[in-house]
Chains A and B, each alone.
Chain A
Amino acid sequence: MTQYIVRRVLIMFPVAFLVTVFLFVLIRQTPGDPVLVRLGEEATPENRAALRHELGLDRPVAVQYVKWLGRVLRGDFGRSIRNNQPVLDALAERLPKTLELGLVAFAYSVGIAIPLGTLGALFRRGPIGLAASAFTFAGVSMPNFFLGTLLILFLSVKLGWLPPGQYVPFSEDPLDNLRRLIMPAITLGTAGAAVNMRLIRSSLLDVIVQDYIRTARAKGLPERLVFFRHALRNALIPVVTIVGIQVGALWEGAFVTETIFAWPGVGRLTINSISGRDYPVVQAVVLIAAFSFMLSSLLVDLAYAWLDPRISYVKRRG
Chain B
Amino acid sequence: MRVVVSVRLKDGILDTAGREVAARLQSMGYAEVTDVTTSKLITIDFDSGDRANAERRIDQLCKDLLANVSIEDYEIISIE
Chain B binds chain A: no
